[in-house]
């Protein structure tokens, strides 16, 4: 059955892909503040490809009256909350942006939804909440109380605030923690985009922690497919599942969305060099504040619930990004 879906952050990397996927069989509305964290032209170009561009509005989550009016006027069934100030390293430079956009913006949304009959809120979090974790594979039950950056702390804060609203107002909430998403139309501040750009332009790439970094790279189509399948699986309607982490006091669940493969950064760069057909100029640096050396998702619970888990081969995904990059910049 078609649903009335609101996507926050719809001009972002993930939001624009998800909007395109869902608009074929749902009534989708999007909001974005089109801020200048990176070139807003990229955001505007993303939404030009969407059939429902007329249903996209420039609204900031801190513009509470406008946000509330949009939600209630359109009788939204499902909210997919992706809007956030991204970036681990940027949180060291502009910490107030993370409090305003991630914590206060999410609070505004939750406080509006408590007075609606929402079917399901899907809330984006991040693998960064696991911080410096000694466990080598991160299940949803692994401790996430010690985030290493203000970005990850802000995402953990939104998880906890959302649980309180789910408990007190019976809002069905699924939190998904995604792991290093990449693909066409990706963010310019992410490693794949920055490395590709630098290699093509014969500029050195900065490799932190002397290359001793591992990441679980998740292709964008795998992430959006996972989110789409979760829409109808609100925590107040799904059956009991072994090793579920559903809250004992609220219709609230946390899920990882990751590829279940930890790739060392040097291996990632070798694959990128192969795809581009050119060697990188490497500048090895110490670990930066806020970064963590290792992420590795367990997506078992996602698979149990949806019958699906990310599986895209990294070289295939990088090739898709590189083809997009060449086409977008007309190289």
Q: DSSP letters along 121-169, please? A: EEEEEEGGGG-S-S-SSB-TTS-----SSHHHHHHHHHHHHHHHHHHHH
- As given in the structure block, the two tokens for residue 316 are 């295939």
User: Which residue among the candidates 130, 151, 294, 325 is catalytic per the annotation?
Assistant: 151
| Residue at token pair 């057909």 | 277
CA-CA-CA-CA torsion sign (69, 121, 227, 180)? positive
Q: How many Å apart are CA 206 and CA 190, to the nearest integer?
A: 12
pLDDT at residue 318 above 70?
Answer: yes
177: helix, strand or coil: strand
CATH of region 4-328, choose from 3.40.50.1980, 3.40.50.720, 3.10.20.80, 2.40.110.10:
3.40.50.720
For residue 174, the surrounding DSSP H or E stretch is strand 173-178
For residue 241, name the pLDDT band (cuts at 50, 70, 90).
confident
Task: Convert the pLDDT of each residue in 88-132 to its tens digit.
Answer: 888 888 999 999 999 999 999 999 999 999 999 999 999 999 998
DSSP 239: P
pLDDT of amino acid 291 = 79
Number of C-beta neighbours around residue 316 at 10 A = 10
* pTM more than 0.85: yes
Q: What is the mean pLDDT of the chain?
A: 94
Residue 296 gets which letter from DSSP? -
Q: Whose CA is closest to 306, among 216, 232, 221? A: 232
User: Is there a contact between 285 and 207 (Cβ–Cβ < 8 Å)?
Assistant: yes
151 is an active site residue = yes
């Amino acid at each position: 059955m078609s649903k009335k879906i609101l996507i926050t952050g719809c001009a972002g990397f993930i939001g624009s892909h998800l909007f395109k996927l869902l608009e074929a069989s749902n009534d989708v509305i999007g909001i974005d503040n089109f801020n200048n964290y990176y070139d807003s032209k990229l955001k505007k170009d993303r939404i030009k490809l969407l059939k429902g561009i007329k249903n996209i509005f420039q609204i900031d989550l801190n513009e509470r009256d406008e946000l509330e009016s949009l939600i209630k006027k359109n009788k939204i069934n499902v909210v997919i909350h992706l809007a956030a100030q991204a970036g681990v390293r940027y949180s060291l430079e502009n910490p107030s942006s993370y409090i305003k956009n991630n914590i206060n913006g999410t609070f505004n949304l939750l406080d509006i939804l408590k007075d609606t009959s929402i079917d399901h809120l899907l809330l984006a979090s991040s693998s960064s909440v696991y911080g410096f974790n000694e466990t080598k594979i991160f299940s949803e039950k692994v401790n996430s109380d010690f985030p290493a950056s203000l970005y990850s702390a802000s995402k953990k804060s939104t998880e906890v605030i959302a649980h309180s609203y789910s408990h007190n107002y019976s809002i069905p909430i699924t939190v998904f923690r995604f792991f290093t998403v990449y693909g066409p139309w990706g963010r310019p501040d992410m490693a794949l985009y920055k490395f590709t750009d630098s290699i093509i332009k014969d500029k050195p790439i900065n490799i932190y922690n002397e290359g001793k970094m591992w990441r679980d790279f998740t292709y964008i189509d795998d992430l959006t497919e996972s989110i789409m399948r979760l829409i109808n699986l609100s925590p107040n309607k799904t059956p009991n599942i072994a090793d579920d982490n559903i809250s004992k006091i609220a219709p609230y669940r946390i899920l990882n969305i990751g590829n279940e493969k930890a790739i060392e950064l040097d291996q990632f760069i070798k694959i990128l060099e192969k795809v581009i057909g050119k060697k990188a100029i490497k500048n090895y640096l110490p670990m930066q504040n806020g970064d963590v050396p290792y992420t590795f998702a367990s997506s078992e619970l996602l698979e149990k619930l949806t019958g699906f888990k990310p599986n895209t081969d990294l070289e295939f995904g990088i090739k898709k990004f590189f083809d997009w990059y060449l086409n977008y910049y007309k190289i």
